[in-house]
């Protein structure tokens, strides 16, 4: 697997992350992470630098902030973006023209197919709490998709706002209540323990840590029971098999073809 330890990040002057866009602009990103989410922003940066490879997929760029935008040019670096918003992809490309990223348009909860291309690292930074659906459904979708596009020794990592904590903070709880009520985030019933179990089901060497209201996680590709093939049965808390019983799941299943989601590369404009 291609290593990226020599890559460096430029100073962060413009990074703004959803769903704290307005607060970040008014108060500053570091202040928001420390005051509201009780998690030093530097931890996310260290995680990124520790896990990124020279062949990397960044998932979800609609938040208008990711560390790839601060990567310095490297002739060996292969960066790809995946997002359901064409506008967000175009903005991400403009912000990282020096990296010459490849763009893929597709829903994050549909199947990701990159033909025969595999990535050595996949970043799910602040993606989980921005998706619709229940917690188990969202984690299953992200983990199964990450496995489909990871190389044999590839790594997955990411972070999310998680409400599942004991030592709550009144200000943070107020902000999360408003965000959940207004549909900005989806973290009302998220579970740290379930996330840990599900990540361990899909990946090897899982490391997970709760810092304030932010959960940071990472793991590496492991073989499935199908002789090393990436496909696995979806995780289920009872029997590790997901039954498509909800109306939403049935509608999605019927709408998908055997080819999965239509990822359209290289958006023009």
6 has a pLDDT exceeding 70: no
Q: Which pLDDT score, from 0 to 100, does residue 74 have?
A: 81
Q: For every residue of the chain, which 3-state class applies, written as one string?
A: CCECCCCCECCCCCCCCCCCHHHHHHHCHHHHHHHCCCCCHHHHHHHHHHHCECEEEEECCCCCCCHHHHECCCCCCEEEEEECCHHHHHHHHHHCHHHCCEEEECCCCCCCCCCCCCEEEEEEECCHHHCCCCHHHHHHHHHHHHHHHEEEEEEEEEEEECCCCCCCCHHHHHHHHHHHHCCCCCCCCCCHHHHHHHHHHHEEEEEEEEECCEEEEEEEECCCCCCCCCCCCCCCCCCCCCCCCCHHHHHHHHHCCCCCCCCEECCCC
83 has a pLDDT exceeding 50: yes
Q: Are residues 242 and 234 in contact, defined by beta-carbon separation less than 8 angstroms?
A: yes
Q: Mind listing the domains of the chain with CATH numbers?
A: 36-265 (3.40.50.150)
pLDDT digits (tens, 9 = 90+) for 122-181: 999 989 888 888 899 999 999 999 999 999 999 999 998 887 765 667 777 777 777 777
Averaged pLDDT of the chain: 76
Q: Which pLDDT score, from 0 to 100, does residue 63 have?
A: 60
pLDDT digits (tens, 9 = 90+) for 53-66: 999 999 988 664 56
- In whole angstroms, what is the distance from residue 101 CA to residue 156 CA? 19
Residues with Cβ < 8 Å from 41, sequence gap 6 or more?
29, 30, 33, 34
- Taking the CA atoms of residue 180, residue 145, residue 99 and residue 207 in that order, the dihedral angle to the nearest 10 degrees is 70
pLDDT digits (tens, 9 = 90+) for 199-250: 999 999 999 999 888 899 999 998 765 555 667 788 886 555 444 444 444 4
Label residue 262 by pLDDT band (50, 70, 90): very low
Q: Which pLDDT score, from 0 to 100, does residue 22 have?
A: 46
- Pairing between strand 203-211 and 214-221? antiparallel
Q: Are residues 32 and 23 in contact, defined by beta-carbon separation less than 8 angstroms?
A: yes
Q: Which pLDDT score, from 0 to 100, does residue 149 have?
A: 93
């Amino acid at each position: 697997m291609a290593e990226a330890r020599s890559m460096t990040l430029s100073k962060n002057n413009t990074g703004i992350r959803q769903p704290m866009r307005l607060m970040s602009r008014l108060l500053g990103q570091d202040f928001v992470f420390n005051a509201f989410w009780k998690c030093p922003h530097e931890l996310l940066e260290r995680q990124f630098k520790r896990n990124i490879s020279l062949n990397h997929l960044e998932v979800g760029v609609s938040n208008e902030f990711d560390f790839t935008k601060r990567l310095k040019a490297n002739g060996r670096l292969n960066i790809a973006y995946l997002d359901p918003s064409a506008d967000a992809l175009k903005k991400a490309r403009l912000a990282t023209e020096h990296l010459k990223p490849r763009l893929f348009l597709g829903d994050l909860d549909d199947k990701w197919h990159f033909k025969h291309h595999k990535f050595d690292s996949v970043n799910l930074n602040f993606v989980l709490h921005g998706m619709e659906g229940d917690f188990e459904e969202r984690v299953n979708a992200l983990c199964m998709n990450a496995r489909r596009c990871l190389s044999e020794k590839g790594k997955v990592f990411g972070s999310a706002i998680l409400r599942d904590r004991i030592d709550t903070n009144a200000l943070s709880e107020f902000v999360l209540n408003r965000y959940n009520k207004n549909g900005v985030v989806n973290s009302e019933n998220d579970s740290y323990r379930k996330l840990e179990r599900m990540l361990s089901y899909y990946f090897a060497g899982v490391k997970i840590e709760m810092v304030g209201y932010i959960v940071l996680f990472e793991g590496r590709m492991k073989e499935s029971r199908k002789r090393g093939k990436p496909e696995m049965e979806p995780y289920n808390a009872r029997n590790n098999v997901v039954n498509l019983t909800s109306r939403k799941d049935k509608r999605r299943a019927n709408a998908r073809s055997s080819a999965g989601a239509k990822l359209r590369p290289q958006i023009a404009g």
